[in-house]
Each structure stands twice: as structure tokens, then as C-alpha cells.
Amino acid sequence: MSLNVKKSRYDLFWKSTYFVIIGVGILLLWYATKEVEYVWRWYRVPQYFIADVEVNVRAEIEGEVARIERSGETVRITVEGRSGEKETYPAPAGEVRVYEGDFIFPGDILAVYEETRPGILLQGLWLTLKVSFIAIAFGILIGLLGGLARVSRNPCLRWLSITYIEFIRGSPLLVQIYLWYFVFGTIINNLLAEMGFSPISSLWYGVASLAIFAGAYVAEIVRAGIQSIHRGQTEAARSLGMNYIQSMTHVILPQAMRRILPPLAGQFISLIKDSSLLGIIAIRELTKATREVVTTSLQPYELWFVCAVLYLILTFSLSMFVQYLERRTLI
């Protein structure tokens, strides 16, 4: 009993110490930035998430403004051309820049309104999410096939899988991205051009490099998961007359899945973070978007912190999701 009381007193002490350390850390950073005369301007950050953009409604023909009808939130501006043809331009009620009877030329501004659009950071976040999601989906597929080939008795499949895994794990992701974009990308796009197809965008080479990179690690995780299942399980399944595929899908993989999930989560968290490298091949994901915003806004401190926190939100959500899956597969 007395032991417990003692323990909880120290407990409180260490918990307070934790918060003191964090608080002092933040204070020190703040003072340090004061010293270098950095002015924090957090209010400038939101505009990169959601921005109000001016949109101009322009005339496409030459003629006279025949009618301006307002109905509630919208305006309809009708322009009548020389030869009597009519064009109607709908716009949200903003500033109408013309009057009935005005003579206008193509390209003249008829009305101006403000539209709320996602800012660069939000676009970058979305792209990171999209790239990661597609790469994870393909990474799972490649990793599953690679892992199965890795434990296969067929030497061709097994060696192919080993070659793939060793090659991918043996070189830096950055180099692989360059290879995909500048070497394979150029070759493939040239071939496509010769055959009269349009080129594949750099986004897909980025996705390919990430998926194939992650696939190699997933293959090893899958292999370890399958091999961790006792041999007796395969024997029981096979002795009942199940073939290889049936025993894999009904007996081995469902059990392996439970052990595969935690390391798989770690792998995909890495993948999300690694997607930040794709900026180098002109994919404007979150990191590249942040870099661009930093050069225009000159508020690097706030923006890099925001960038880090956004990654944290993505990776944390993923790990929460996987924990939920783990609980569901538990019996």
C-alpha cells in the first residue's frame, strides 16, 4: 500500500517534469527566434489552405449587352452579337462590370466574383494522400505476390523474388525515383510517343517508384508472417484435400495477417513520409507545396511546422486505422 502511494507521488513528479520540459522547449525556441528577429505571423498560414480567388467572367463574342437579369444569388448577362446571335453568361452575384446597352469585345470582363478554392498546401496534402494511397494499394499487391513467390518451392519464382527484394532494398529510394523518372520514364514515354499515345505523367512514375520500393519490404514482411505460422496448419489443410491456393487463402494468410499488420503499418507510415521525395520530379506534393509557399510568403518557421504536423496527422490516422483492423482480427 505504502509502496503504491510512493509510486504515485513520483509518478506525478515525472509527469509534471514532462510538461515542464516541453514548455521550456517551446519557450526557448520562441526566445531564440526573437533573438534572430523572426516575426511569427501565423495569421498568414490559413490563406494557403483555403484561398479566395477573383474569377473574371469574360465575353466570348463581340456585341451589345442585351439584358442583365438578377435573380437572388445569380446574375445572367445576355450579349447579343451583330448578326442577332445571343449568348448568356451566368455568374454568381458579385460585381457586374457592364451595363445594358454597352458595346463589348471578346475578352472583356462582364462580371467579377470571388470563389473559395483550396490553397496550395491543401492541394499538396491531397496529392500526398492520393499518391500514398495508390502506392500503398499497389505495394500490398506487389508485396503479397512477392512474399508468396519468396516462400514458393519453384526456384524461378523464388529467385525472381529474392532478386527483386535485394535490388530494391539495396539502393536509395531517391536514386530509384530518378531511375523511374529519367530512365524508364523517358524510355516509356518515347515509345508511347512513337506509337502515337500521349505520355504518362510524372505522377505515375512517382507512384511506381514508391509502390515498388514498399513492395519489396512488404514482401519480406509477408514472408516472415507466412513462415511464422506453424507447419502443422498447412499439413492439416492439405491433408483435408485443399490445394495450395485454398490452404493459403483460408488457413495460412488469415492467420499470418494478424502478425503482418503491425510491421505493415510501420512500412506504410514510411511510405507516406517518403512521398516527400517526389517533389524532385515535379510532383507538387505537400513538401514541395510547402517549399513553394515558403519562397513566396517568407514565413518558413510557421510553414515547416505546419507541414510536419500535416504529415503527423496522416501517419497517425493510418496507424489508428491499422490498430482498429488489428483489434477486429483479434479473437
In the three-class reduction of DSSP (H, G, I as helix; E, B as strand; rest coil), residue 56 is classed as strand
Q: How many residues sit in the footprint of another protein (CB under 8 A)?
A: 19
Q: CB-based contacts of 100: which residues, under 8 Å, 6+ apart? A: 65, 66, 67, 68
331 near another protein, judged by CB under 8 A: yes
Q: Which CB sits closer to another protein, 15 or 230?
A: 230
Question: Could you tell me the smallest distance in angstroms from the CB atom of residue 213 to another protein?
Answer: 31
- Could you tell me which stretch among 3-11, 86-94, 225-233, 293-301 binds another protein (CB under 8 A)? 225-233
Q: Which CB sits closer to another protein, 51 or 325?
A: 325
Q: Name all contacts of 170-179 with Cβ < 8 Å and 24+ positions apart.
A: 173/209, 173/210, 173/213, 173/274, 173/277, 174/277, 174/280, 176/209, 176/212, 176/213, 177/205, 177/206, 177/209, 177/277, 177/278, 177/280, 177/281, 178/280, 178/281, 179/209
In the three-class reduction of DSSP (H, G, I as helix; E, B as strand; rest coil), residue 197 is classed as coil
Q: Which residues pair with 54 in a beta bridge?
A: 114
Question: Could you tell me the smallest distance in angstroms from the CB atom of residue 330 to another protein?
Answer: 10
Question: Could you tell me the smallest distance in angstroms from the CB atom of residue 260 to another protein?
Answer: 13
Question: Could you tell me the smallest distance in angstroms from the CB atom of residue 329 to another protein?
Answer: 8
Q: Which CB sits closer to another protein, 125 or 251?
A: 251
Question: Could you tell me the smallest distance in angstroms from the CB atom of residue 243 to another protein?
Answer: 5
Instruction: Give the Cα-Cα-Cα angle 229, 230, 233 (nearest 5 degrees).
Output: 95
- The backbone region for 63, taken as left when phi is positive above 0, alpha when psi lies in -120 to 50, beta otherwise, is left
Q: Which CB sits closer to another protein, 9 or 231?
A: 231
155 near another protein, judged by CB under 8 A: no
| Cα 137 from Cα 139, distance rounded (Å) | 5
Question: Could you tell me the smallest distance in angstroms from the CB atom of residue 197 to another protein?
Answer: 43
Q: Which CB sits closer to another protein, 243 or 296?
A: 243
Q: Which CB sits closer to another protein, 39 or 331?
A: 331
- The backbone region for 42, taken as left when phi is positive above 0, alpha when psi lies in -120 to 50, beta otherwise, is alpha
Q: Which stretch of DSSP H or E encloses residue 64?
A: strand 63-71
Q: Which CB sits closer to another protein, 192 or 236?
A: 236
Q: Which CB sits closer to another protein, 228 or 317?
A: 228
- Could you tell me which stretch among 7-15, 206-214, 248-256, 269-277 binds another protein (CB under 8 A)? 248-256
Question: Could you tell me the smallest distance in angstroms from the CB atom of residue 248 to another protein?
Answer: 11
Q: x/- binding map, residues 227-246, to another protein, per CB under 8 A?
A: ---x-xx-xxxxxxxxx--x
270 near another protein, judged by CB under 8 A: no
Q: Answer yes or no: are the C-beta atoms of 125 and 272 closer than 8 Å.
A: no
Q: Which residues pair with 256 in a beta bridge?
A: none
Of residues 91, 127, 248, 251, which one binds another protein by CB under 8 A?
A: 251
Residue whose C-alpha cell reads 489508428 in the numeric block: 320
**CA-CA-CA-CA torsion sign (60, 61, 62, 65):** negative
Binding site for another protein (CB under 8 A): 230, 232-233, 235-243, 246, 250-251, 254-255, 258, 331
